[in-house]
Structure 1
């Protein structure tokens, strides 16, 4: 299982989730607030996944997530009691990989942790396929799992990398949001398409020369997205 950093200011909920996730096989490190969580990550703790509450004193989850992204690309799952689209998208846009609404069912959280960890090692193309794909200024190595832009490394989260590889392995094909939810987020049910839109937005910001007028990942209105080769 995984070593999980659980960041939750509610002592009772943190202890309950710690107990539940430990019972499901995870090793849980608790943090009562954002500064403690960032301190533990900066100290080099071998954390495989962060479960992060949004509503916290001192630093809210959005600020903590941005701090985590300055330190590492460790997968982040946000816990949110706020279901407004703007709050969900804000969390995803600051670097989160997924979100779970409160009150949270431990087995649902366990499934999301397992799913996000599977994205850490994305599946490359079949043997015999070219491993390096040139997309103009962007170069993707589907075997080494590396991305460069103008020769410089591009830091992608596991989810962003998995999403980009899905496009690269299916160039010119329109991929619906539900297909992307199934293949990238490993959702076996009708998931929230806002996750896809927010992750595409982040991916464009890192790979497109002009994210406002993307030339690589095109929006197919009302359907999904398509990778256009140069």
Structure 2
């Protein structure tokens, strides 16, 4: 698996089940009951997920907007900002509106479930819950997200004059073909598919090089430098995000704060 000097414990022992999870899948837990949040986080890490934890609604919203996780486990009754308000703001945000949300709450009334689903939750679990059942529901939501993404994934992507044709394995900038290596091609494709999203170096290594490759963190910097050189005048489209990694510049990007 990819070895990163700054985080040797990022991957926990994988699940023994057949549906092993890629470690790059990031889940944000927003739950004010710390023992529940920490227990769920520990078990999800054992399944191979990367987990972020927040204990209030405002911080959870901030982390979601900053990190753009693949799924959010969101409690309804939260301090500072209620879960319903967090859900509404996530669904109205340009960069967060498609993130799956699994809502968890002590409220068990049917009306509460309907309200949660109405404001954009993808699934709803009531407390007390079985940890195994909750984790399986999380996996089900992630599978549906992956299937939807695969079904809608275009073979040709074009953003700000940069085009990637996956089927023909061609990349162009303003109509001129780019002589990319296979790794540079995969790297550019990943960045274009989610233009505007900041990827960590670890995520880019997994996507472009492979999670089983024995590489260092700075390896991705070398590939990005080469990609920028080949883009020429378009080199500034691949932006460095300080303290995070890289992103492809998105037109009319809306910043939420």
Q: What is the TM-score when the length of structure 2 is the normalising length?
A: 0.46
Aligned to 2:115: 90
Aligned to 2:188: none
In the alignment, structure 1 residue 77 sits paired with structure 2 residue 99: no
In the alignment, structure 1 residue 109 sits paired with structure 2 residue 109: no
CA distance in 2, matches of 1:104, 1:28: 19
Higher relative contact order (CA 8 A, sep 6+): 2
* 1:188-227 CA-partner distances (Å, limit 9, x unpaired): xxxxxxxxxxxxxxxxxxxxxxxxxxxxxxxxxxxxxxxx
- Consecutive unaligned residues in structure 1, runs of 5 or more: 125-141, 146-230
From 52, 66, 76, the counterpart of 1:29: 52
* 1:124-152 CA-partner distances (Å, limit 9, x unpaired): 9xxxxxxxxxxxxxxxxx7558xxxxxxx
Shift in Å at residue 101 of structure 1? Answer: 1.3
CA distance in 1, matches of 2:111, 2:130: 23
- Cα RMSD (Å) of the superposition? 2.0
CA contact (8 A) 1:78 1:91 kept: yes
From 30, 36, 41, the counterpart of 1:13: 36
CA distance in 1, matches of 2:69, 2:117: 20
The number of aligned residues is 127
Dislocated runs of 4+, deviation >4 Å: 142-145
Q: What is the TM-score when the length of structure 1 is the normalising length?
A: 0.51
Aligned to 2:86: 64
From 115, 121, 136, the counterpart of 2:146: 121
- Consecutive unaligned residues in structure 2, runs of 5 or more: 1-20, 155-257
Aligned to 1:53: 75
CA distance in 2, matches of 1:55, 1:7: 10
CA contact (8 A) 1:79 1:101 kept: yes
